[in-house]
Amino acid sequence: MRLRTVISSERERERDYRAEVQLIHYNHELYTNYTEAAKSPNGLVIVSIFMKISETSNSFLNRMLNRDTITRITYKNDAYLLSGLNIEEVYPETSSFITYEGSMTIPPCFETATWILMNKPIYVTKMQMHSMRLLSQNQPSQIFLSMSDNVRPVQPLNNRCIRTNINFSMQGKDCPNNRAQKLQYRVNEWLLK
């Protein structure tokens, strides 16, 4: 699991996302390991889950971000075995998503990833977000580089096709203005970060 955080100003609106969890999977039917898959067509699937600040939090992250665990994984390549975690608990309560073919967010940014962006966020407390920002992207021998400083700039569209299973014609509580929406095919730049 890769955690990507977003630097935010205090004047952000409530709907803005403060971080992103990236669950990176490789195609084990075509490739023998992650390194080979990352360089190859149809090599990776990355599930992206956005995070919002809330009074309540995600049960999976509660276990992962407790003081005993978080202090053991401060630097890049630190590892600590947590047993009894259920990865399903990290997912938001939705089956809706947006998907597109794109690149990895870490160098060398190969164009080998299928992205799946979940339609709803998960929630973390301010204290949990603070704990994540105390993690370093670097190894102990290098200068500390916070997890909050790792946002990749927006990339060119390169004629990507965006697909979704979201039904925009349905009315309901998920629609911000509670009226039927026309299908829109314009791509938002923020999707391609």
pLDDT (tens digit, 9 = 90+) per residue, 40-78? 999 999 999 999 999 988 888 888 888 888 888 888 889
Question: Where residue 88 sits, what CATH number does that domain have?
Answer: 3.10.200.10
DSSP line for 103-143: --SSTT--S-EEEEEESS-EEE-HHHHHHHHTSBSS-TTS-
115-158 confidence digits (pLDDT tens): 999 999 999 899 888 888 888 888 888 888 887 767 788 888 78
Burial degree of 124 (CB within 10 A; 0-12, 13-18, 19+):
buried
Q: What pLDDT was estimated at residue 83?
A: 85
The Cα 96–Cα 117 span in angstroms is 9
Total domain count, the chain: 1
Integer-rounded Cα radius of gyration of the chain: 18
Asked if pLDDT for residue 26 goes beyond 90, the answer is yes
What is the DSSP-derived secondary structure letter of residue 158? Answer: T
The Cα 35–Cα 18 span in angstroms is 29
Range of the domain at 56: 2-191
41, 60 Cβ separation under 8 angstroms: no
For CA atoms 117, 157, 162, 169, the dihedral sign is positive
Structure tokens that stand for 50 in this block: 């956005």
Catalytic residue among 17, 26, 31, 75: 31
Q: What pLDDT was estimated at residue 36?
A: 96
pLDDT tier, 99 (very low <50, low <70, confident <90, very high otherwise): very high
Neighbours of 189 (CB within 10 A): 10
pLDDT tier, 174 (very low <50, low <70, confident <90, very high otherwise): low
56, 123 Cβ separation under 8 angstroms: yes
Based on the residue annotation, tell me whether 31 is a catalytic residue of this protein: yes
Percent of the chain with pLDDT over 70: 79
